[in-house]
Structure 1
Amino acid sequence: MASKPRISVLMTIYNAELYLGESIDSLLAQTFTDWELIAIENGSEDSSSKVLEAFNDSRIKIFSFPRNIGRTHALRYAFEQVEGDLIAILDADDIAHPRRFEKEVKVLDDNPGILLVSSWAEYIDTDSQRFDTWEPPTDSNEIYECLGWMNPIIHSSVMFRYQAALDIGGYPEEFKYGQDFALFLRLARKGNFSILDEYLCQLRVLKSSMTRSGEYSLIVAKEKLELSEVAGKVLDLSSKSKRLNRRRIATNKLKYGFELIKNRFIFSGITILLYAICLDHRILWDNNRIRKVFGIRGNSSKY
Structure 2
Amino acid sequence: MTLVSVVIPTRNRHQFLSETVASVQEQTFLDWELIIVDEASNDETPVYLRSLSDPRIRFTRHAYAQGVAAARNTGLAQAGGELVMFLDDDDLLRSDALDTLRRALADYPDALAASAACRLFRETGDSDRVYRPARAYSRRIWREVLFGWWSNSGQNLYRTAVIRDIGGFDTALRAGEDRMLWLEIARRGNVCLVPTVAMEYRQHPGQFTQSSDWEAERQLIWQRFIHSLPPSLHAEGVAIRRAAALTADAEAARAAGHFYTGARLQCAAFVAAPRLLVSPLVARPMYWNFKKCVQRRRTP
TM range (shorter): 0.7 to 0.9
Q: Residues 46-68 of structure 1: CA distance to partner in whole angstroms, max 9, x if unpaired?
A: 21222333221011111012321
Match among 65, 68, 86 for residue 68 of structure 1 = 65
Structure 1 residue corresponding to 2:7, chosen from 10, 22, 33: 10
Cα distance change of structure 1 residues 190 and 20 upon mapping to structure 2, 3 Å threshold: same
Instruction: Write the mapping of 1:87-126 to structure 2, written as runs, cut at 5 A.
Output: 87-125=84-122
5+ long unaligned stretches in structure 1: 252-281
The alpha-carbon deviation at position 17 of structure 1 amounts to 1.4
Match for 1:228 among 212, 222, 236?
222
Q: Where do 1:231-270 residues align within 5 Å?
A: 231-234=225-228, 243-248=239-244, 251=245
Give the corresponding residue for 2:40: 43
**1:83 and 2:80 aligned:** yes
Residue 169 in structure 1 maps to residue 187 in structure 2: no
- Following the alignment from structure 1 to structure 2, what is the Cα–Cα distance between the partners of residues 124 and 41? 25
Which residue matches 2:203? Answer: 205
User: Does the aligned pair in 1 maintain the 2:142–2:183 contact within 8 Å?
Assistant: no
CA contact (8 A) 1:76 1:170 kept: yes
Residues 167 and 132 (structure 1), Cα distance of their counterparts in 2 relative to 1, 3 Å cut:
same
Whole-Å separation in 2 of the counterparts to 1:81 and 1:241: 35
The SS at the match of 2:22 is helix
Partner SS state of residue 163, structure 1: helix
Corresponding residue for residue 128 of structure 2: 132
Letter in 1 for 2:189: G
Q: Alpha-carbon deviation of 1:78?
A: 1.2
User: Structure 1's 82 and 5: CA in aligned 2 closer, same or farther, altered over 3 A?
Assistant: farther
Q: CA deviation at 1:174?
A: 2.0
User: Do the aligned residues in 2 keep the contact of 1:148 with 1:242 (CA within 8 Å)?
Assistant: no
- Identity across aligned pairs (percent)? 22
Gaps of 5+ in 2: 270-300
Q: Which residue of 2 aligns with 1:256?
A: none
Query: Given the alignment of the two structures, is residue 298 of structure 1 paired with residue 295 of structure 2, yes or no?
Result: no
CA distance in 2, matches of 1:238, 1:133: 34
Displacement of 1:227 in angstroms is 1.8
How far apart in 1 are the matches of 2:221 and 2:138? Answer: 20
**TM-score using structure 2 length:** 0.76
CA 1:191 to 1:21, structure 2 compared with 1: closer, same or farther past 3 Å? Answer: same
Local SS of the residue matching 1:189 = helix
* Structure 1 CA distance for aligned equivalents of residues 67 and 47 of structure 2: 21
For 2:223 and 2:84, locate their aligned partners in 1 and report how far apart those are by CA, in whole Å: 27
Work out the number of aligned pairs and report it.
259
Query: Which residues in structure 2 correspond to 1:191-202 (within 5 Å)?
Result: 191-202=189-200
Contact persistence 1:143–1:152 (CA under 8 A): no
Cα distance in 2 between the residues matched to 1:17 and 1:125 = 20
When residues 66 and 125 of structure 1 are mapped into structure 2, their CA distance, relative to the original with a 3 A threshold, is: farther
CA 287–122 in structure 1, closer or farther in 2 if over 3 Å, else same:
closer
Q: Deviations over 1:237-256 (max 9, x none)?
A: 698875332244xx4xxxxx
Contact 1:143 1:193 in 2 (8 A): yes
Aligned to 2:298: none
Secondary structure (helix, strand or coil) at the match of 2:193 reads strand
1:126 CA displacement: 5.2
1:134/1:285 CA distance change after superposition, 3 Å:
closer
The 1:130/1:23 distance shift into structure 2, 3 A limit, reads farther
- What is the SS of the residue equivalent to 2:161? helix
Assess if the C-alpha contact under 8 Å between 1:118 and 1:157 holds in 2. yes
Rate the CA distance shift 1:284–1:132 in 2: closer, same or farther, 3 A: closer
- Paired amino acid for 1:227: I
Residues 90 and 156 in structure 1, CA contact (< 8 A), matched pair in contact too: yes
Q: TM-score, normalised by structure 1?
A: 0.76
Change (3 A) 1:51 1:145: same
RMSD after superposition: 3.0
| Paired AA for residue 103 in structure 1 | T
Match of 2:212 among 217, 228, 231: 217
